[in-house]
Amino acid sequence: MKYLLIHLFLSPCLAHAASKLYTGFNYGSFWGTEANPKKKSDFLDGFNLARNLTTNTPFDTARLFTCVQSGTKNDPTEAFDAAVESKTNLFLGFWISPAQKGGSPSINNEMVALEKGFQKHGQALSDLIIGLSVGNEDVYRAEASGEIGLTAPIVGSTIAQVKKNIAASSFSRYMASKPIGHVDTVKYAVVDNADFIGITVYPYWNKDSIDAAFTSFQGSVAEAEKRAGGRPIWIAEMGWPTADSTQHGAAVAGVGQLQRFWKEVGCWVFSRYTTFWFELVKDSTPEQKADWGFVDGKTRAAKIKDLSCGGAPKPSSGKDKPVSGTLPPLSSTSHAVSPAPSTVAPTPSTILTSISPSPSLASPPGQSPPHATLTSTTTLTPIAIISPSPPYGPSPETHSSVRFITLEATVVITTTPTVGVTTKPTPTPVKPVHAVTLTVVENSYVTIGAQTVTAYS
């Protein structure tokens, strides 16, 4: 019996922590201004509208920027009520930037609002929560745009404080094992104490043409992956506007551009990362001149005609999606203006082996073909060995679970019959060359705790 060892070295771009991927839209807490807050009916309408889009990937998750109902001090957002009723998953947000420059992070009212939400809904709300972002683009505002925000060290310490406060709260059991991280532009997204790295990626704000959008987007994600230290990347915001009163370099707003961005970039992202599109229906602040709404507010129909992704079948669960592909080593930064996982046991990939006659395989010039005596059918038993690559270093127990992807490979072993092993070809007629073809069929992915992964066969 001969054994073929296949070592799968996976780059960080293929390692994601969650066993499920989630897809949805960003939802602001008010319509244009805080004087016009969204109510339960508004959230419910949006959640159902998103869920009913004819997409291959169900948009059944909502990203919120705050847990506080707009217009109140610390009442829970009515999005909680709408989510529980519609069974919409939630990516929660704490708005932590202070009211004035130089102020301290604000988390008390967010904590109270979340506590009230759990007091009302309990486990029903907990079951829908996929994670919590402490802040949104705070570092970008503080360090790049000159607006009110927070520095990276302060955001990192605030995340640690939020984790500590939640652990000591009356609702700690409802938030147990929920990842807590931060969302920011790619350049500023990596902060301390974050369980995931949430990024906002906009080739449009980067002044890239729609022709360059895919490369720009991939480059931004690759840059985030490189600096994330093995932590999963969540695409917290992405999109393309259909109208804008201002020209941004080579970027042009339009329905045609949105269609291309959806097909070329969106469809690439949906099967790889937890993703949130900005936005379902235009609800951003007045100073945001561009219209990022994916759905027309009047017709309630998607602005683009083709929402499919290459004819891919709909996932059976709507959550589990295979991941494939790597990212090029490009880099770019982008920014946006926005309003205020269980693991499964590892299973080897499907292996198909066969021995069959094949056409003569030419040898490289100046190189003699190998010689062997073929006497019987040879069976190859592959043993798949997974070796986690960096950044899983000295302390893997501190990292989240990592998803390993099955790959495709073909190994061809050619044999030429001879009259015994010899260094010279025999004068006897040579029979057709036989080939042994091993095909590793990509059929699944597995999620393994980083602290326990060694090998499987």
Q: Cα dihedral sign for 17, 139, 62, 302?
A: negative
Contact call for residues 157 and 104 (beta carbons, < 8 A): no
157: number of Cβ within 10 Å? 16
Structure tokens at 69: 């109902």
Q: Tell me how far apart the alpha carbons of residues 37 and 35 are, in angstroms, rounded to a whole number.
A: 6
Instruction: Report the 3 state secondary structure along 325-342.
Output: CCCCCCCCCCCCCCCCCC
Q: Tell me how far apart the alpha carbons of residues 66 and 80 are, in angstroms, rounded to a whole number.
A: 11
Question: Which one from 78, 110, 115, 137 is the annotated catalytic residue?
Answer: 137
Contact call for residues 444 and 407 (beta carbons, < 8 A): no
Question: Which one from 78, 110, 225, 237 is the annotated catalytic residue?
Answer: 237
Q: Tell me how far apart the alpha carbons of residues 293 and 168 are, in angstroms, rounded to a whole number.
A: 40
The full DSSP string for 272-289 is: TS-EEES-SS----TT--
Query: Which among 198, 208, 196 has a CA at the least distance from the CA of 139?
Result: 198
Coil, strand or helix: which one is 352?
Answer: strand
- Known active-site residue 143: no
- Known active-site residue 85: no
Coil, strand or helix: which one is 160?
Answer: helix
Residues acting as catalytic residues: 137, 237
